[in-house]
């Protein structure tokens, strides 16, 4: 993962980004994808906004859908974001945003198109700071989810897997399943039965550091499903589309199939033009542990101390 730290840090802005009230995933909740490193693409589009900490290159169309179909979030001083790039936009390919402003923190080369009355702007001085605090928050939240007590998801069936959450129960419950990552590379179908709109399913994925995704997931909604990749360093969504939130802030992602939900990863390579889907059925709205306010303040203070040290050196 690339981390860039420049200029001063305003803890007020950090507190805004770290706020536990910004959504179950914090500021990242309103972004279709958050990438804590570099982005490479050779086609495709996102329904929602995208935040890229590192450099971006390739062809892509950001935020095809307008508000209120999907959020048009702010990112610190960067308002109404379609895409925000903390590093450089390189000369290869055409990048276009349809329903939000485009922000670039570094050098802009090549073709960047902004439509529907929005603008191409320089990224604000607080941009990299916010990326850093988002990453720290995501790592902490992943650890909290990993610590939840869960049951092992049976994966022995070679074809069809089923989870029945119960028809006669109280709604708004959280279910936690532990998944062996080696099973995800086998062509299987997971049917989630009796999932309600205010339920949450946390799949804690453990095992190999390289994970291939080959499952189909059938559910009435995906806004309460989150896949927390605990051990993975690289994920390849190659066989079938991914359903639910892909939560892997320390993992690189190769995306060859559509992803329906939020994405948090360390870097992203998009191959063959797949799509990032967002909106009410896909944006994460589940009940997951969030870092306590005291933890968030400590994270902000630690980042501020690091910035002061670097300015003195």
DSSP string, 209-257: SEEEE-EEEE-S--TTEEEEESS-SEEEE-SS-EESEEEEEEEEEEE-S
On whether both 156 and 97 belong to a single domain, the answer is no
On whether both 116 and 222 belong to a single domain, the answer is no
Which tokens is 191 given? 């049917």
Phi, psi of 146 (to 5 degrees): -65, -25
The DSSP element (H or E) to which 85 belongs, if any, is strand 81-85
Sites in the chain below the pLDDT cut of 70: 1-21, 91, 294-313
Q: What is the pLDDT of residue 235?
A: 99
Q: What is the pLDDT of residue 172?
A: 96
Tell me if 3 is assigned to some domain: no
Tell me if 231 is assigned to some domain: yes
On whether both 176 and 126 belong to a single domain, the answer is no
Tell me if 284 is assigned to some domain: no
Residue from 94, 1, 76 nearest 31 by CA: 76
**Domain residue limits at 177:** 151-277
On whether both 33 and 121 belong to a single domain, the answer is yes
Phi, psi of 264 (to 5 degrees): -130, 115
Tell me if 159 is assigned to some domain: yes
Burial of 52 (0-12, 13-18, 19+ CB in 10 A): buried
**What's the total number of domains in the chain?**
2
The model's pTM: 0.89
The DSSP element (H or E) to which 297 belongs, if any, is helix 293-312
Tell me if 52 is assigned to some domain: yes
On whether both 119 and 215 belong to a single domain, the answer is no
Tell the residue number behind the tokens 């902000």, with chain if given.
300
Provide the Cα torsion 234, 203, 136, 297; round to 10°: 180
Which tokens is 243 given? 């359903």
On whether both 304 and 218 belong to a single domain, the answer is no
Q: What is the pLDDT of residue 208?
A: 86
Tell me if 57 is assigned to some domain: yes
Tell me if 145 is assigned to some domain: no
Which tokens is 174 given? 């959280």
On whether both 211 and 160 belong to a single domain, the answer is yes
Residue from 264, 255, 258, 210 nearest 58 by CA: 255
| Beta-bridge mates of residue 269 | 40, 254
């Amino acid at each position: 993962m690339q981390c860039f730290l420049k200029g001063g840090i305003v803890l007020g802005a950090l507190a805004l980004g770290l706020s536990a009230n910004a959504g179950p995933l914090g500021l990242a909740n309103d972004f279709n994808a958050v990438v804590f490193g570099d982005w490479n693409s050779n086609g495709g589009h996102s329904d929602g906004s995208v935040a890229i900490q590192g450099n971006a290159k390739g062809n892509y169309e950001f935020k095809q859908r307008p508000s209120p179909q999907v959020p048009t979030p702010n990112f610190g001083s960067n308002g109404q974001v379609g895409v925000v790039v903390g590093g450089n936009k390189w000369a290869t390919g055409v990048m276009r945003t349809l329903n939000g402003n485009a922000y670039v923190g570094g050098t802009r080369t090549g073709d960047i198109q902004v439509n529907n009355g929005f603008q191409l702007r320089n990224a604000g001085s607080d941009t990299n700071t916010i990326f850093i605090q988002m990453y720290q928050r995501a790592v902490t939240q992943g650890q909290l989810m990993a610590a939840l007590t869960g049951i092992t998801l049976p994966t022995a069936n070679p074809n069809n897997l089923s989870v029945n959450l119960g028809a006669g129960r109280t709604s708004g419950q959280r279910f936690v399943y532990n998944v062996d990552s080696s099973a995800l590379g086998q062509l299987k179908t997971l049917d989630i039965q009796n999932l309600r709109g205010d339920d949450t399913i946390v799949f804690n994925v453990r095992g190999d550091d390289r994970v291939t995704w080959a499952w189909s997931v059938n559910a009435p909604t995906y806004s309460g499903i989150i896949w927390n990749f605990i051990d993975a360093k690289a994920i390849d969504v190659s066989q079938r589309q991914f359903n639910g939130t892909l939560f892997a802030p320390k993992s690189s992602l190769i995306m060859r199939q559509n992803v329906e939900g939020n994405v948090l990863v360390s870097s992203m390579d998009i191959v063959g033009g797949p799509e990032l889907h967002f909106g009410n059925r896909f944006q994460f709205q589940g009940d997951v542990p969030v870092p306590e306010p005291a933890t968030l303040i400590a994270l902000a203070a630690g980042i501020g101390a690091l910035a002061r040290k670097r300015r003195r050196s």
